[in-house]
Amino acid sequence: MKKEYFVQYSDQSIINSFDFPKDNFVSITVGISEITHDLITSLVQKMFRLPIFFVLESMIFGYKKETLIENKVPFYEFSSDGAIIKVDSIEKLELVSGLAEVLVNNGLSVFIFHGEGIVEQDLIPSRRWNKPIKFNNVDINKVETFVDVYEVGFTIFSKSDLFNSPGKIPHYIPNHYLLDINSSDI
């Protein structure tokens, strides 16, 4: 049985949870009951060309950091358990997508950035209680698309015409998921 998902324009509360120029980006939310590494890998491969950047705010007590080190995947460490990983190969994508799956299924967010001229050090998130998430150093003009992946789906913030409406997103979702047309803005 295929898992269902829905695609909608994002609610204002989701848009407001990030501090960046909202008029430059279209925001689309996809609700899926289970995030898997093959979903993340497929989305990235279909939506972007490499390199992309994964921002892991927390890696659950260093366990994931050890996995990166053991597999010789370089990363930029920005806190005791936060890392930014430049993914420039399919092998890295498979490994990092697996790590991202574990994190999001444990209630943590993973951010994916795509654009030209982005560097790891600029993607450090700033999260404070009751304030929007900020990426203080990122040049928003260099970001083409930003994806917030969480336990029950993901939100795409994009300047690209490829992802600017809910009707375009199902082309990027693997075929083993079924679109719930009645709950979608299509």
Q: Is the pLDDT of residue 32 over 80?
A: yes
Q: Which pLDDT score, from 0 to 100, does residue 133 have?
A: 87
Mean pLDDT, rounded, of the chain? 90
Q: What pTM was computed for the model?
A: 0.93
pLDDT tens, residue by residue, 145-163 = 999 999 999 999 999 999 9
Cβ density class 116-128: b for 16+ within 10 Å, e for less:
eebebebbbbeee
4 closest CA partner among 153, 178, 186, 170: 178
Q: What is the DSSP letter of 126?
A: B
What are the residue boundaries of the structural domains of the chain, listed by start?
3-183
